[in-house]
Every structure is written in structure tokens, then in C-alpha cells.
Chains A and B, each alone.
Chain A
């Protein structure tokens, strides 16, 4: 594996130089929050960030996306697939938990049968550069409980780890190696590796929040009707913040929009927290209350995804924990389930 050493304060310059040649998404500070945005001339990347407010899944799975467009004719309609203008791009500086989420989303969108070309195309053309958490950013981080680590190359093409005043840059995949020219000529030596390993194990040990995420699977297998499910949802507002911010939530709606003779069919993020999500035309709703919706969200992450893809659909980023307006804490939910 090719490795380089760069100065920590060189990151922003590298990202901007890259952005001159190829579209680059990077963390950008906006008031108190950080979002992943396309870098443009007047936009400064901000790498001294904890984590982005939103998960960067929107780079591959935008909030709204055209599936097809059409034009009305005398007899009906002619239509065409949404133009795919996706070119190569770089996602610069995502946290390891979010890079991990891409691997999980791939399992759903990139299946042999029914490949979701809109997602897969963007994913394949984008190089993911992970900025490791040399110091875990939040007390709510629990990546180590859900198969992640604060310093991890899972889902990354390039892994950047801050070691003191320098950054070790590891080119994990051939796709990552193609960008090697931006990172200078200073090859990393064994001492840098040793330093990185030290940083990694310290960071791992610093993740204090632990949940029994794997232990609850057999319990969920047998407790769909447990009275426990009556207890979580009471204060849930069904606002959908948890699903909106979640790196692995991928549910979407499909709807049509018409303007004159032209129209588009779009998909947009949807949420299992919303009553209409499963409501049928007849009025019947298989998940009639927030109880069933909360059960669905929990089950989907810690049982259904495991059944279907052998992976927990949670990366431990803690966004839902930090941002829930009524302080429902998935860590507590999982903890409680483990005691059923």
C-alpha cells in the first residue's frame, strides 16, 4: 500500500487544489454546523470538525433525485430516464462511521438483481477519503459496538490519520491511488505506521459508550410482541429527524411533478417514522401507531438488516442520539432490549 506523510495544515490546500481538477465534496462550516458541500472558489473546507450535521449519504443518494422525465403528447406521454450527469468526484474527509455506512448501503442498492443505477453510478465514480477520528469527537460515539472503529479504512479509498502535527495518508484502493499526486512525495516510514497504530488503539479505547448491538439480535427474533414496545414511542414526535440524519436510513418515496406538458418522476427521502409511510388507499395501515413505527426502525437496524445482509444497519455515529428533540436514545433502547 502506498503511504504519504503530509502536514496537518496542508489538508485544506490539497482539497482546494483537487477541487480545481475534479468536483470535491468536503466539510464546510455554516454557522454552528458542518455540512458536506461541493467546494467552490469562495467555499473553504473545514477539517477541524467533529462530524457533519447530516450524514454524507446524500452524495450518492440525494434528498431528491429525478428518476425519469416525460412530455405529454396528444396520445399520452413520451418519457426518458433521468439524465445521468454524474462524473467522477471526491468525497473528502468523511468520518469512518459514515464511510462504513456506504458499505452497508451498497448491500441494498448494489444487488445483482435490481441494481439501483442512480446510487451505484455515483458511488462507483466517487473516491471516498476518510479522515480518521484520532480523538473520538463525541461522548455519544459508539462505533466500536457496531463493527466500526474510530480509525478505520472500511469504505475508504484513502485513509488520512492525524498523528501529531502530521497526517499519515494511506491509499487503500487503486481508486484512491489515482489521487496520489495531490499528496506530495514524502513517503511514510515505519515510524509513522507505528504512530498511527498507537493513535488508533488510543482512539478505540477512548470510545466509552458501548451498546450490546450484537447481543440483541436473538432477543429481537423472539420479541416482536413484547410489552417493551409500548414504552419507547410515547414521547416520539414522529418528526423523522433520526431517519433524516441517519447514515444508513435509505427509505424513499416516489412522486410525480408536472409543469405544463412536462413532468418529472422523482424520488425523495421518506421516513418509517411517518404515519403515511405505510398507509394504504383503503385506509388500512399495517403500522398504525408510533409504537409499530419505532419497532420497525429498531428491528430494521438490529434484526432485519442482519437477516438480509448479515450486518447491523447502524454505524454508531450518534446523530440520532444528539439530535432527537425528545431525547430518545437508541443506545438506551438497545440496552433495554438486551435485558428483556
Chain B
């Protein structure tokens, strides 16, 4: 059996600086041993432990979709010891990734339903994985209407700009990009995510919303979706906690009896209601 504490060695294949502030980058990794890619079989919504020797590990959501073969991507904000070291790395460097860890977006539950994706800021990464998974040619017909509402504080902080532009051109996606405040070059929508959700007003009929963002965005967005008639079972989000082992043993990421690393990170609002508010 695979030792869950040992990372797979990966090469940093490509680094994309996502934002003007340069502190959010997407890292594309290729497996040093090609056979490891099959072992790293993941589902959108899962995360991995990025492992830099001498620094430690950091749990980060997987930003690529399993339909993208040959590599795996993580979008990382520079924040602590590990992520700062990661941001200093160059293409060609070798490091490690562990996982895939945690549950995932509930793909089989989402199938046959209309999907509303709501993202704020940098917390868009595993949503991007889900979107790319759903719009993959062979998968698209398994899902109904797809509405995307994504916002950031300003245009320079939107991540995946090329993909956003490509998605906007598709006729099978309803894409709504917004910024809190635009700049001289911004021709798109201005407004906070909750407000835009109200304006777009996606129908709750046979629909599930998948929402990730800063707590303040989520707090003001939830009432909008309640008003639209979404049940708590059909509002799904993902939690973050400080983690180490990622496999429910080291004891720090539990919310009540549930471990975010192993039983989460994905929970429906109905499930979260049953947990304590210790996150």
C-alpha cells in the first residue's frame, strides 16, 4: 500500500503569474515517474499537500481538472513559509505533492442538474477545476445549464483571465465576471458578488449552487440564494483549516466529529448546519 506520508516527486513544469500583485501563481507539475499520474487520480474539489523539502507542506486545492492529462495544477497565494518558498521556485525544480486528499465536489449529485458556480477572489481554484471538468466535451451533456458568477476586488486580481475570456465566448455557459471596482481599462461589470447573484437570479429549479469565496462574500451571498429558493442541501461549499497529515490522524482540522481533511473539505450547507461553528 502507498505510504500516505510520502509525496510523489514532481517537476515544476510551468509557472503562471495570475494577478497584478504577483502573489498568486499557478504551478503546473509533471510527475517525475509517469506511472504516478495514474495513482494521483483525483476528482474536482480535492486537494493535495504541496511538499517542499526543508520547508514543509501546505494543503492546497487542485486547480486543474482530471480531464487535463499529463499534469496537475495548483494556484497558490504567497502567504506562509511553504507558499513563499514555492513562489521562489523556478521551472524545472523538483518538489513533491501528496494526495489527492479529501472528498470532492459531489459530481454524481451534480449530474443532470443546473449548476450555479459562485466564486470570489482567489478561492476560485477548485471551482475552476469543476468548470473545466463539466465543460469537457464528453462530460458537458451530463450537466444542465451552467451559470458562473465570479468576482474579485479589482480587474488585476481576477485569476485565470484567458480561460474566463474563452468561457465567455461559449454559448453553453452563462458567464458573469464582476469586479468590486473597475479601472480605466475595465469594460465589464462592476459590483459585489452578492449583488450580481441577485441580478443574474439563477433559477433554483433542479439547480445546485457551488460557492467558494471569502467569508464576508459567502455571508452576504447565502441570503440571496435562500431568496431564490435554493435549499441548504443544494448549496455546497468547501472549508479550509490548518492541516498537517491530511488523512485524519494528526488531530487539528476537526470541526466537531468531522475532519475537514478527510470528511471534507466539501460540505453542503445542510451538513454544515449539523456541525459546530468552530472553523
Contact = CB atoms under 8 A, between A and B. Distances in A.
B257 A303 contact: yes
Interface in A59-104: 67-68, 70, 72-73, 75-79, 81
A2 B250 CA distance: 39
B117 to A, nearest CB: 24
A182 interface: no
Interface string B245-258: 10111111111110
B216 interface: no
Given A287-B278, A308-B257, A68 B94 contact: no
Interface string A253-278: 11110100001010100101000011
A300 B250 CA distance: 13
B241 A253 contact: no
Contact of A256 (B55, B251, B255, B257): B55
B247 A114 contact: yes
Which interface class (under 10, 10 to 19, 20 to 34, 35 or more) fits A? 35 or more
B160 to A, nearest CB: 22
B257 A304 contact: yes
Contacts of B53: 70, 72, 76-77, 79, 256, 258, 263, 265
Interface in B192-216: none
Which interface class (under 10, 10 to 19, 20 to 34, 35 or more) fits B? 35 or more
B241 A286 contact: yes
Contacts of A73: 94
Contacts of B93: 75-76
B145 interface: no
Contacts of A179: none
B79 A277 contact: no
Contacts of A272: 251-252
A43 interface: no
B80 interface: yes
A108 to B, nearest CB: 6
B245 A252 contact: yes
Given A72-B53, A252-B250, A287-B278, 12 more contacts: A75-B92, A76-B9, A77-B9, A79-B9, A118-B5, A251-B250, A252-B249, A256-B53, A256-B55, A265-B53, A280-B241, A304-B254
Interface of B: 1, 3-7, 9, 11, 53-57, 79-80, 83, 92-96, 240-242, 244-245, 247-257, 262, 276, 278-279
Interface of A: 67-68, 70, 72-73, 75-79, 81, 108-109, 114-118, 224, 250-256, 258, 263, 265, 267, 270, 272, 277-282, 286-287, 292, 296, 299-300, 303-304, 307-308
